[in-house]
Chains A and B, each alone.
Chain A
């Protein structure tokens, strides 16, 4: 019940396309849902995060969509660029941003020029 299931494991998108990564959870006590972006040779870095009182949060080309009833949330990358090629992790925690994060297994995104 503590798991966060992430899909797909890998994703190839053409430049300018939309990348969509999905995550699902079971524990309804989760109340903080961040996404992390990791480039090769680097540690993951916080990209965008959402709390369950909103259904969508947008920052530039990155949008989190949150469906509380379905216990799912997704990351959409609009106008995907080769520089977006990275591994993306979704995560969830209890206790807001002060709780220990449970990470999904990651999605390796490749954006082809």
Chain B
């Protein structure tokens, strides 16, 4: 089975801190995604990447950046965390198949 692993299940950070969320997939997938999930708002795409060192903005990129130095790893960076970035963050990957996205279990980030 494809595995997408997010390094932390829960994180608490202070306002203004630089925050790194890490995601690793083990199936050599080209495409990786970062979403945030908030009640009533569903899944909103922050950034995605089609290949190493490539990145594309999603629907809500403001306040975030990403890094993909290796194919299996996609990092989400909050340059200066703010309380409105308190959310569940989900990483996903997919390859060339009908089997859709594979999501990680998520990181619940609280910014205080």
> What residues on A are CB-neighbors of B106 within 8 Å?
41-43
Q: Do A100 and B90 have beta carbons less than 8 Å apart?
A: no
Q: For A43, give its contact among B41, B97, B99, B103 (CB under 8 Å).
A: B103
Interface residues of B (CB under 8 A from A): 4, 33, 40-43, 45, 48, 90, 92, 94, 96-106
The digit string for A65-108, where 1 denotes a CB below 8 A from any CB of B, is 00000000000000000000000010000001110110111100
Q: How far is the CB of A37 from chain B (nearest CB, A)?
A: 11
What residues make up the interface of A, taking CB atoms closer than 8 Å to B?
6, 9, 34, 36, 41-46, 49, 89, 96-98, 100-101, 103-106
Bound CA–CA A6/B105 (angstroms):
23
- B30's nearest neighbour on chain A, judged by CB, is A98
Q: Is the CB of A105 within 8 A of B48?
A: no
Distance in angstroms between the alpha carbons of A36 and B104 in the assembled complex = 13
Residues of B within 8 A of A42 (CB): 105-106
B40→A105 contact, CB < 8 A: yes
| Known contacts A97-B97, A98-B96, A100-B48; A44 and B40 CB within 8 A of each other | no
Bound-state Cα–Cα, A72 to B7, Å: 38
